[in-house]
């Protein structure tokens, strides 16, 4: 019963085989067609992507043909009209671009998850990170890049951010350990906060770009915020506004989760502190939250009253940087985080003072809470 | 060894019909059985189907990410639309070194502009001449509150340079930033440098600079170069020259060069005048003064109101000095600043508030010092700033122009007169010739009589000539007296070329008078008239080094002050 090959085989083809083939075919086709048929991707790409890699990093750019052989022409002359950059209480309605800046020493997954939960259109958000070039920083960078990859390449379209900038610090951190106890020692404060200031400034001035309307400073250990954080803070239309930072912890006495104030850098000034400052040397700084240095300032951390009175706004003289929304104007005018004693203040507190010197009054929201990671 | 199933067939199940049939057992491995073969066929078929499907998808959606993964990025077209949203920069790579051009370090060139249309063509000629590789320079312009065509001219010029056929011409990223601050201060020299307007003007300028920088600075910049648009002459290699010093902040000395449009002008004050008085070293006096001022006060250099007695970079200039000589300074002028980008990154900016009693570029110098960066000036490395005539100068120029016209008119008249005379003289000669001919004819007839007549004629001509000679000096004297009557000393200088030496001698005296206008008023009053013409020595006696000390309060447009003091004198 020897048969010639070829046609005989076809005849003998298993119907099951063909069925399997077609099913697979249909499945693959469906799989391929479905994601690209969503309309959002095409619109977003068109909005504002630059043609050249020298474009401001706050906007993405389209890679031209990948082979280097193709000659790139000289970059075009780009005109930015900063008179048209609006900064309003309705940032979503006016399509205002927000820059979220985070100096990062450790990566917390909760931070990233919380970031993804923000309800502000992600297509209008640019993220900026700066990490030290230490062992810890390298580990954090790796974790961060992993998450970014996941979100920007594989994640759903609505989760993807407009652009992400990762910077590596160009100076050695003066403190090697980022442990909470070590960080908060009073003797280490000045050096640590000088470094923080430099990191914040480096991040700010290289990423601000010509399109940003608002800058949100969000610390890398803030793990829980209301999803509408940006809109809420911008809604008060204050030049500088800070949320109250608390920490959730397990209270052994009541056997339940409780919260306690965490950030003491937001305050209203006192005469005692003024006098203390006047008696100090030009390079000394006033610190908050240390028993050795009683300043009797009015701390926003203790102003929290009824959670229902969310709209309470208080003017401040010093601000913390945990969750701080700043009009881009304020930074453009030159308000930065002084890495030196500026009126005996440093970093975010010095920033508040500098903003005031430039005519911008900082405010705080005592009942609007964000939560810090608990180690 | 005998096959076990030889009688019934092959071990693979095929019946043995013909012993010498080669097919199929000779190709089949012994283990292969029908079921296996069938499965294999199925796999091949599936594979083909799969492949065809992929080919179709690649053909239909060549740009999908999935396709690019499948094609391993081999298809160029597939990555064309790839959106880059993540950028990674290591700031340790952009620290700035002495030989930046070898390490391909990028420079951000910042130029704040306002009603600068007339200066743009000059600026672009400089731009084309920079020897630093152009593709490593990013340009950023801030156009604010301009009422002329600055923006159009600027973008036209930039488009042109970016489209230049010479591949060495186009620059890197070019951004024009428009932002109006609503400056109400006038931009002409008088109002720009008037004392009262200084503080608020400087604060606004500082804001403009900060806006420009914050919008244009990128993580890949190693250096930032600030340049005023109205720099007239600067070495083409200025970027490399300044970079070579490898300082955090460095400025050359800036001098004012009078334009040679008005020919008598180069003699004013010797033809050059220090322009940028904002580069200086701190002095005890100034520090003490700063302590007495209130929080928002801004010390501006070059005004008698704040006598700071600071050594200025501009006055230390020696044309034969070593251009590489460095000098530590505290305040910085904004005409041409090269700074490492890290200075700006870490927060140093142009304070738009009173920072240690200073604002803008001077405050910038102070802040850089505060953050322990090196701030250095090169007193003998000079760039020339365009001469901007002050309102008084313009008036003076107009007067001089009128004078010149009057003089020309006079000269023309004189010429006409001379021509007339010549005509007359020519006529006389003709008659003389005729007479001579007649003489020849009537040689003997009336020789003596004729000779007498000729003598008479000559005498007449001589007299006429003398008259014209007398007229000339008289006219000049008249002018001189009118000039003297005018209160401005500088007019004297411009007057005539024969007085050049005198003018030069006058200069220091005049400068001094201005600088210490109040203390030396009487001295100046005595000295001036003498110095003007009769006794140039009087001013020469003043020792030169003293000028440095005196320089502190001197102003770029100090002519005004001097003019005022003189006016007072005349009022008295």
Q: What angle do CA B458, B460, B464 make, to 5 degrees?
A: 115
Which residue in chain B has the smallest CA separation from A207? Answer: B218
Q: Is residue A44 part of a domain?
A: no
φ/ψ of A8, rounded to 5, equals -60, -40
Whole-number pLDDT of residue A255: 80
CB contacts of A205 in chain B (<8 Å) are: 213-214, 217, 344-345, 347
Band (pLDDT 50/70/90 cuts) for residue B349 is very high
A291 burial (CB, 10 Å; 0-12 / 13-18 / 19+) is exposed
CB contacts of A21 in chain B (<8 Å) are: 45-46, 49
The answer to whether the Cβ–Cβ distance between B38 and A14 falls below 8 Å is yes
Tell whether the model's pLDDT for residue B475 goes beyond 70.
no
Band (pLDDT 50/70/90 cuts) for residue A324 is very high
Mean pLDDT, range A190-201, rounded to an integer: 90
Q: Which helix (H) or strand (E) holds B250?
A: strand B249-257
Higher pLDDT, B514 or B428: B428
- What tokens appear for B468 in the block? 């014209």
Nearest CA distance, B1 vs chain A (angstrom) = 27
In this structure, how many other beta carbons lie within 10 angstroms of the beta carbon of residue B270? Answer: 13
Give which of B181, B174, B175 is closest to B208, Cα–Cα. B181
Tell whether the model's pLDDT for residue B281 goes beyond 80.
no
- Nearest-CB residue to B215 (from A169, A210, A333): A210
- Is the separation of the CB atoms in B336 and B383 below 8 Å? yes
CB contacts of B94 in chain A (<8 Å) are: 170
Whole-number pLDDT of residue A278: 84
Going A132 to A136 to A138 to A140, the CA torsion angle's sign is: negative
In this structure, how many other beta carbons lie within 10 angstroms of the beta carbon of residue A249? Answer: 13
Tell whether the model's pLDDT for residue A266 goes beyond 80.
yes
Nearest CA distance, B312 vs chain A (angstrom) = 27
Q: Which residues 199-238 of A have a C-beta within 8 angstroms of B?
A: 201-202, 204-210
Assign residue B119 a region (left: φ > 0; alpha: ψ between -120 and 50; beta: otherwise): alpha
The answer to whether the Cβ–Cβ distance between A208 and B15 falls below 8 Å is no
Tell whether the model's pLDDT for residue B360 goes beyond 90.
no
Which of B13-17, B129-133, B471-475 holds the top average pLDDT?
B129-133
Q: Is A20 on the interface with B (CB under 8 A)?
A: yes
Whole-number pLDDT of residue A269: 87
Looking at the 3D structure of chain A, how many domains does it have?
Answer: 1
- Nearest-CB residue to A170 (from B95, B211, B349): B95
Question: pLDDT averaged over chain B?
Answer: 70
Mean pLDDT, range B376-392, rounded to an integer: 72
The answer to whether the Cβ–Cβ distance between B79 and A198 falls below 8 Å is no
Higher pLDDT, B549 or B93: B93
Q: How far apart are CA A70 and CA B304, in angstroms?
A: 62
In this structure, how many other beta carbons lie within 10 angstroms of the beta carbon of residue A58? Answer: 22
The answer to whether the Cβ–Cβ distance between B49 and A209 falls below 8 Å is no
Which of A10-14, A42-46, A277-281 holds the top average pLDDT?
A277-281
Tell whether the model's pLDDT for residue A66 goes beyond 60.
no
The answer to whether the Cβ–Cβ distance between A79 and B155 falls below 8 Å is yes
A206, A338, A347, best to mutate vs chain B, most B CBs in 10 Å: A206
- Is the separation of the CB atoms in A286 and A280 below 8 Å? yes
Which residue in chain B has the smallest CA separation from A347? Answer: B347
Whole-number pLDDT of residue B345: 92
Q: Is residue A222 part of a domain?
A: yes
pLDDT, tens digit, 9 for 90 and up, residues B115-153? 888 888 888 998 888 999 998 999 999 998 888 888 889
The answer to whether the Cβ–Cβ distance between A54 and B218 falls below 8 Å is yes
Higher pLDDT, B404 or A167: A167
Tell whether the model's pLDDT for residue B240 goes beyond 80.
yes
Which residue in chain B has the smallest CA separation from A21? Answer: B46
Band (pLDDT 50/70/90 cuts) for residue B187 is low
- Is the separation of the CB atoms in A140 and A105 below 8 Å? yes
For tokens 């030496």, name the residue. B501
φ/ψ of B525, rounded to 5, equals -60, -40
Q: How far apart are CA B537 and CA B509, in angstroms?
A: 11
The answer to whether the Cβ–Cβ distance between B174 and A202 falls below 8 Å is no
Higher pLDDT, B18 or A195: A195
The answer to whether the Cβ–Cβ distance between A60 and B84 falls below 8 Å is yes
B68, B133, B346, best to mutate vs chain A, most A CBs in 10 Å: B346
Higher pLDDT, B4 or B231: B231
Helix (H, G, I), strand (E, B) or coil at B223: strand
The answer to whether the Cβ–Cβ distance between A334 and B210 falls below 8 Å is yes
A-to-B residue pairs, Cβ atoms closer than 8 angstroms = 228
Band (pLDDT 50/70/90 cuts) for residue A4 is low
The answer to whether the Cβ–Cβ distance between B87 and A57 falls below 8 Å is yes
Which residue in chain B has the smallest CA separation from A341? Answer: B370
Mean pLDDT, range B558-564, rounded to an integer: 38
Whole-number pLDDT of residue B13: 64
Whole-number pLDDT of residue B384: 76
Q: How far apart are CA A364 and CA A318, in angstroms?
A: 10
**Least confident among A155-164, B191-200, B281-290, B498-507:** B498-507
- What tokens appear for A231 in the block? 């809109």
Q: Is A80 on the interface with B (CB under 8 A)?
A: yes
Q: Which residues 93-122 of A have a C-beta within 8 angstroms of B?
A: none
Which residue in chain B has the smallest CA separation from A71? Answer: B167
Helix (H, G, I), strand (E, B) or coil at B317: coil
Band (pLDDT 50/70/90 cuts) for residue B268 is very low
Whole-number pLDDT of residue B278: 67
CA max distance for chain B? 178
The answer to whether the Cβ–Cβ distance between B177 and A354 falls below 8 Å is no
Q: Which residues 340-369 of A have a C-beta within 8 angstroms of B?
A: 340, 354, 357-358
- Is the separation of the CB atoms in B280 and B329 below 8 Å? yes
User: How far is Cα of residue A267 from the mean position of the Cα atoms in its chain?
Assistant: 23
Question: pLDDT averaged over chain A?
Answer: 83
CB contacts of B155 in chain A (<8 Å) are: 77, 79
Cis peptide before B280 (omega within 30 of 0): no
The answer to whether the Cβ–Cβ distance between A32 and B64 falls below 8 Å is yes
**Least confident among A184-198, A203-217, B232-246, B477-491:** B477-491
The answer to whether the Cβ–Cβ distance between A339 and B57 falls below 8 Å is no
**Least confident among B40-44, B275-279, B387-391, B556-560:** B556-560
Mean pLDDT, range B37-42, rounded to an integer: 88
Helices (H) and strands (E) in chain A, counts: 11, 14
For chain A, the straight-line distance linking the first and the last C-alpha, in angstroms and rounded, comes to 79
Q: Is A66 on the interface with B (CB under 8 A)?
A: yes
Band (pLDDT 50/70/90 cuts) for residue B544 is very low
**Percent of chain A's residues with pLDDT above 90:** 34
Q: How far apart are CA B343 and CA B370, in angstroms?
A: 11
**Percent of chain B's residues with pLDDT above 70:** 57
Mean pLDDT, range A241-258, rounded to an integer: 86
Q: Is A293 on the interface with B (CB under 8 A)?
A: no
Tell whether the model's pLDDT for residue B7 goes beyond 60.
no
Q: Which helix (H) or strand (E) holds B550?
A: helix B546-550
Which of A26-35, A53-62, A97-106 holds the top average pLDDT?
A97-106
The answer to whether the Cβ–Cβ distance between B82 and A62 falls below 8 Å is yes
Tell whether the model's pLDDT for residue B189 goes beyond 60.
no
Parent domain of A352 = 84-372
Mean pLDDT, range B206-222, rounded to an integer: 92
What residues does B141 pair with on adjacent strands? B111, B176
Residue A153, domain CATH: 3.90.550.10
Mean pLDDT, range B204-221, rounded to an integer: 91
DSSP single-letter state for residue B307: -
A22, A62, A138, A205, best to mutate vs chain B, most B CBs in 10 Å: A205
Q: Is A198 on the interface with B (CB under 8 A)?
A: yes
Q: Which residues contact A110 (CB under 8 A, 6 or more apart)?
A: A223, A224, A373
Q: Is A3 on the interface with B (CB under 8 A)?
A: no
Which of A16-20, B187-191, B477-481 holds the top average pLDDT?
A16-20
Q: Is residue A27 part of a domain?
A: no
Tell whether the model's pLDDT for residue B543 goes beyond 50.
no
Q: What is the dihedral of CA B358, B362, B363, B367, to 10 degrees?
A: -140
Per-residue H/E/C for B348-407: CCCCCCCECCECHHHHHHHHHHHCCCCEEEEEEEEEEEECCCCHHHHHHHHHHHHHHHHH
Whole-number pLDDT of residue A72: 63
Tell whether the model's pLDDT for residue A10 goes beyond 70.
no
Whole-number pLDDT of residue A14: 79
Band (pLDDT 50/70/90 cuts) for residue B32 is low
Secondary structure E strands in A138-297: 163-168, 212-218, 222-224, 240-251, 256-261, 267-268
- What tokens appear for B288 in the block? 């003490």
Helix (H, G, I), strand (E, B) or coil at B312: strand
Band (pLDDT 50/70/90 cuts) for residue A200 is very high
B84, B105, B150, B164, best to mutate vs chain A, most A CBs in 10 Å: B84
Which of B139-143, B146-150, B250-254, B303-307 holds the top average pLDDT?
B139-143
For tokens 């720009």, name the residue. B192
**Percent of chain B's residues with pLDDT above 90:** 14
Secondary structure E strands in chain A: 61-62, 77-81, 97-103, 125-131, 163-168, 212-218, 222-224, 240-251, 256-261, 267-268, 298-299, 314-315, 323-327, 362-372
Higher pLDDT, A9 or A223: A223
Mean pLDDT, range A128-148, rounded to an integer: 91
Whole-number pLDDT of residue B391: 57
Higher pLDDT, A246 or B465: A246
Domain formed by B91-388, architecture:
Alpha-Beta Complex (3.90)
For tokens 């803070």, name the residue. A233
Tell whether the model's pLDDT for residue B517 goes beyond 80.
no
Band (pLDDT 50/70/90 cuts) for residue A109 is very high
Higher pLDDT, B49 or B400: B49
- Is the separation of the CB atoms in A134 and A97 below 8 Å? no
**Residue B42 to residues A23, B14, B37, Cα–Cα distance (Å):** 14, 21, 9
- What ipTM does this complex have? 0.84
Whole-number pLDDT of residue A18: 86
Which of B92-96, B390-394, B396-400 holds the top average pLDDT?
B92-96
User: How far is Cα of residue B268 from the mean position of the Cα atoms in its chain?
Assistant: 23
**Least confident among A3-7, B104-108, B213-217:** A3-7
Whole-number pLDDT of residue B29: 58
- Is the separation of the CB atoms in A214 and A104 below 8 Å? no
Give which of B279, B233, B235 is closest to B257, Cα–Cα. B233
- Is the separation of the CB atoms in B252 and B233 below 8 Å? no
Going B206 to B211 to B216 to B222, the CA torsion angle's sign is: positive
Helix (H, G, I), strand (E, B) or coil at A338: coil
B480 burial (CB, 10 Å; 0-12 / 13-18 / 19+) is middle
The answer to whether the Cβ–Cβ distance between A208 and B50 falls below 8 Å is no
Helices (H), A150-228: 180-183, 186-207
The answer to whether the Cβ–Cβ distance between A66 and B76 falls below 8 Å is yes
Give which of A228, A204, A159 is closest to A370, Cα–Cα. A228
The answer to whether the Cβ–Cβ distance between A340 and B370 falls below 8 Å is yes
- What tokens appear for B220 in the block? 């890949």
What's the pTM value of the predicted model, to 2 decimals? 0.68
- Is the separation of the CB atoms in B303 and B326 below 8 Å? no
Nearest CA distance, B14 vs chain A (angstrom) = 9
How do A212-218 and A323-327 pair as beta strands?
A: antiparallel
pLDDT, tens digit, 9 for 90 and up, residues A73-95? 778 888 888 888 888 888 898 88
CB contacts of A326 in chain B (<8 Å) are: none
Nearest CA distance, A203 vs chain B (angstrom) = 8
- Is the separation of the CB atoms in B234 and B126 below 8 Å? yes
How does DSSP assign A264-282, residue by residue? ---EE--HHHHHHHHTS-T
Which residue in chain A has the smallest CA separation from B73? Answer: A66
Which residue in chain A has the smallest CA separation from B134? Answer: A74
């Amino acid at each position: 019963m020897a048969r010639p090959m070829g046609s005989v085989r076809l005849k003998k083809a298993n119907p099951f085989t063909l069925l399997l083939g077609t099913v697979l075919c249909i499945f693959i086709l469906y799989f391929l067609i479905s994601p690209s048929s969503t309309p959002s991707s095409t619109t977003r790409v068109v909005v504002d992507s630059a043609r050249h890699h020298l474009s401001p990093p706050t906007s993405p750019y389209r890679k031209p043909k990948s082979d280097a052989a193709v000659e790139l022409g000289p970059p075009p002359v780009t005109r930015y009209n900063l008179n048209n950059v609006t900064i309003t209480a309705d940032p979503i309605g006016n399509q205002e671009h927000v820059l979220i800046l985070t100096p990062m020493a450790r990566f917390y997954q909760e931070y990233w998850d919380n970031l993804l939960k923000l309800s502000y259109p992600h297509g209008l958000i640019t993220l900026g990170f700066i990490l030290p070039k230490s062992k810890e920083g390298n580990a954090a960078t790796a974790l961060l890049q992993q998450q970014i990859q996941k979100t920007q390449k594989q994640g759903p379209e609505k989760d993807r951010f407009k652009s992400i900038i990762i910077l590596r610090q160009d100076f050695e951190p003066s403190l090697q350990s980022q442990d909470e106890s070590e960080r908060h020692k009073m003797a280490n404060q000045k050096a640590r906060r000088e470094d923080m200031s430099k990191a914040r400034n480096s991040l700010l001035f290289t990423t601000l770009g010509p399109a940003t309307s608002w800058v949100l400073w969000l610390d890398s250990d803030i793990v829980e915020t209301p999803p509408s954080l940006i809109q809420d803070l911008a809604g008060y239309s204050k030049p500088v506004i800070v949320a109250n930072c608390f920490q959730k912890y397990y209270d052994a006495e009541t056997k339940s989760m409780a919260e306690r104030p965490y950030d003491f850098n937001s305050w209203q000034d006192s005469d005692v502190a003024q006098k203390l400052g006047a008696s100090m040397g030009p390079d000394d700084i006033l610190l908050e939250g240390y028993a050795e240095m009683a300043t009797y300032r009015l701390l926003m951390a203790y102003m929290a009253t009824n959670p229902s009175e969310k709209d309470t706004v208080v003017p401040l003289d010093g601000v913390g940087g945990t969750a701080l929304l700043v009009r881009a104007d304020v930074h453009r005018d030159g308000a930065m985080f002084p890495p030196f004693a500026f009126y005996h203040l440093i970093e975010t507190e010095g920033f508040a003072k500098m903003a005031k010197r430039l005519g911008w009054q900082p405010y705080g929201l005592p009942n609007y809470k964000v939560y810090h990671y608990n180690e | 060894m005998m096959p076990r199933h030889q009688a019934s067939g092959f071990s693979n199940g095929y019946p043995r019909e013909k012993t010498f049939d080669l097919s199929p057992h000779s190709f089949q491995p012994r283990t292969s059985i029908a079921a296996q073969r069938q499965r294999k066929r199925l796999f091949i078929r599936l594979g083909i189907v799969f492949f065809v499907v992929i080919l179709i998808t690649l053909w239909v959606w060549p740009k999908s990410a999935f396709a690019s993964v499948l094609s391993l990025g081999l298809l160029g077209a597939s990555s064309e639309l790839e959106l880059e949203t993540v950028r990674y920069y290591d700031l340790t790579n952009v620290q700035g070194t002495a030989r930046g051009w070898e390490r391909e370090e990028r420079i951000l060139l910042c130029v704040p502009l306002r009603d600068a249309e007339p200066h743009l063509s000059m600026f672009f000629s400089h731009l084309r001449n920079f020897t630093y590789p152009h593709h490593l320079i990013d340009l950023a312009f801030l156009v604010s509150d301009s009422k002329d065509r600055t923006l159009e001219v600027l973008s036209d010029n930039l488009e042109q340079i970016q489209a230049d056929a010479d591949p060495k011409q186009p620059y890197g990223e070019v951004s024009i930033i428009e932002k109006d601050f609503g400056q109400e201060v006038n931009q002409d020299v008088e109002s720009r440098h008037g004392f009262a307007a200084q503080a608020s003007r400087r604060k606004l300028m500082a804001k403009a600079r900060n806006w420009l920088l914050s919008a244009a600075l990128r993580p890949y910049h190693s250096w930032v170069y600030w340049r005023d648009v109205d720099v007239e002459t600067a070495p083409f290699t200025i970027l490399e020259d300044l970079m070579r010093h490898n300082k955090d902040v460095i400025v050359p000395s800036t001098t004012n060069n009078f334009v040679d449009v008005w020919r008598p002008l180069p003699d004013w004050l010797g033809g050059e005048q220090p322009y940028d008085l904002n580069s200086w070293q701190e002095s005890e006096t100034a520090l003490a003064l700063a302590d007495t001022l209130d929080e928002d006060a801004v010390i501006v250099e070059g005004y008698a109101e704040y006598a700071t007695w600071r050594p200025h970079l501009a006055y230390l200039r020696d044309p034969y000095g070593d251009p590489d000589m460095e000098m530590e300074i505290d305040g910085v002028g904004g005409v041409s600043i090269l700074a490492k980008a890290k200075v700006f990154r870490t927060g140093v900016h142009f304070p738009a508030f009173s920072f240690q009693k200073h604002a803008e570029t001077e405050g910038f110098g102070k802040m850089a010092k505060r953050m322990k960066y090196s701030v250095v000036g090169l007193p003998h490395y000079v760039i020339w700033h365009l001469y901007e005539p002050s309102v008084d100068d313009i008036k003076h120029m107009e007067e001089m122009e009128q004078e010149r016209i009057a003089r020309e008119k006079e000269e023309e008249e004189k010429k006409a007169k001379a021509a007339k005379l010549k005509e007359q003289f020519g006529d006389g000669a003709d008659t003389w010739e005729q007479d001579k001919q007649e003489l020849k004819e009537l040689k003997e007839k009336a020789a003596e009589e004729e000779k007498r007549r000729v003598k008479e004629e000559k005498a007449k001509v001589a007299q006429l000539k003398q008259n014209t000679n007398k007229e000339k000096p008289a006219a000049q004297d008249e002018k001189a007296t009118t000039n003297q009557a005018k209160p401005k000393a500088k007019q004297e200088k411009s007057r005539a070329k024969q007085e050049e030496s005198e003018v030069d001698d006058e200069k220091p005296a005049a400068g001094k008078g201005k600088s210490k206008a109040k203390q030396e008023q009487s001295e100046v009053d005595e000295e001036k008239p003498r110095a003007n013409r009769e006794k140039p020595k009087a001013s020469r006696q003043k020792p030169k080094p003293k000028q440095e000390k005196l320089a502190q309060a001197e102003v770029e447009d100090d002519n005004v002050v001097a003019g005022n003091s003189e006016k007072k004198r005349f009022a008295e």
